Structure 1
Amino acid sequence: MFYALGWTIVAKQQSLTNLNLQILSFTVFDMSGQGRYRNLWEHYYKDGQAIIFVIDSSDRLRMVVAKEELDTLLNHPDIKHRRIPILFFANKMDLRDAVTSVKVSQLLCLENIKDKPWHICASDAIKGEGLQEGVDWLQDQIQAVKT
């Protein structure tokens, strides 16, 4: 659980959570990354104002799948031509096999994202580490669009 932010991680389904942080209120749709649920993601693209993409930094094999899904997301018609901020959490950084957020960025080729603001944070969702940095960045990005 993301206790500090009130997020709930649900591994096998989607969940909806409301967050009230400083001057913004977020409605978060937590979508499972399991293959059978990925086709549901696109139903939320049109109205989304930001994307939070969580990567298991200890699982290099699944990072290949994450890269493919990220490319699919970025090329979707409801996302492709929008300057929508994307926050990446390189999660599970506490695990022995975890790679750094810099390495995750390289494996996902994030440097190729030129038309959208993005940020990557190392995180440990269980302990809440790295989450506030990411949410603060995302809040700044959304606020900049609103003003």
Structure 2
Amino acid sequence: MGGGVTQATVLVLGLDNSGKSSLLNALRPPEQRASLTVPTVAHKQDQFQSGGVSFSAWDVSGASRMRALWERHYRYANAVIFVVDAADHLRLVVAREELELMLAHPDMFGRRVPLLVLANKSDASHALSATHVAAALGLERIADKPWHICACSALTGSGLADGIAWLARQLREQRSNK
């Protein structure tokens, strides 16, 4: 494939209130951003472009009763953005459990699906650093996928460009290696 745009389906997962919808809103062009984001019920699709990749993003609810919906999307995912509230220390254990369940699922295990972990709300005074969030999630144990973590703020947009640029590079490399 020449210099065309790479198409990719990305799942945007994480616990409720981690900032998934706000993050996707921040990735829209300024004139398309909503002034108010509301929690996702079930799932919704969004689009954004970065680094020569056109992303079709599935924002899937992180409410405990809705997390079973996540697995319906796994086999179609080219990448995963896992959003964690870096300021919510108590729920990091739950986030880790959900991440481990996703990674162990038959539709995900062994696939080289790039995993971008966004430590959102990193601008909060009591937020953990990206390094601490990575340790809390056990990211160093992930051997079958390229992964990257970055601190970000969905409200200010800081840190998002670096993470999305990494993800776009991973997806372009995967396509060129096929």
Q: How does the TM-score come out when normalised to structure 2?
A: 0.78
1:65 correspondence with 2:94: yes
1:24 correspondence with 2:53: yes
1:81-92 matches, within 5 Å, as: 81-92=110-121
2:137 equivalent in structure 1:
108
Q: CA deviation at 1:115?
A: 1.3
Identify the match of residue 5 of structure 1 among 27, 35, 49: 27
Asked if the contact 1:91–1:125 (Cα under 8 Å) also holds between the matched residues in 2, the reply is yes
Asked if the contact 2:40–2:59 (Cα under 8 Å) also holds between the matched residues in 1, the reply is no
- 1:36-84 CA-to-partner distances (Å, cap 9, x unmatched) read 1101100110010000000000111110000000110010000002011
Q: What letter is aligned with 1:95?
A: A
2:7 equivalent in structure 1:
none
Asked if the contact 1:12–1:32 (Cα under 8 Å) also holds between the matched residues in 2, the reply is yes
1:96 equivalent in structure 2:
125
**Root-mean-square deviation (CA), in Å?**
1.5
Size of the aligned set, in residue pairs, is 147
- 1:104-123 CA-to-partner distances (Å, cap 9, x unmatched) read 00000100001110000101
Structure 1 window deviating more from structure 2 (119-128 vs 20-29): it is: 20-29
1:118 equivalent in structure 2:
147
What stretches of structure 2 of length at least 5 have no aligned partner?
A: 1-21
Asked if the contact 1:101–1:121 (Cα under 8 Å) also holds between the matched residues in 2, the reply is yes
- The structure with the larger Rg is 2
Q: Separation in 2 of the partners of 1:10 and 1:133?
A: 25
What stretches of structure 1 of length at least 5 have no aligned partner?
A: none
Q: CA deviation at 1:11?
A: 2.3
Asked if the contact 2:86–2:133 (Cα under 8 Å) also holds between the matched residues in 1, the reply is yes
Asked if the contact 2:79–2:114 (Cα under 8 Å) also holds between the matched residues in 1, the reply is yes
Q: Identical aligned pairs, as a percentage?
A: 42
Q: Separation in 1 of the partners of 2:107 and 2:57?
A: 18
Q: Separation in 1 of the partners of 2:119 and 2:75?
A: 25
SS of match in other structure, 1:12: coil
Q: CA deviation at 1:91?
A: 0.5
Q: What letter is aligned with 2:158?
A: E
Q: Separation in 2 of the partners of 1:25 and 1:104?
A: 28
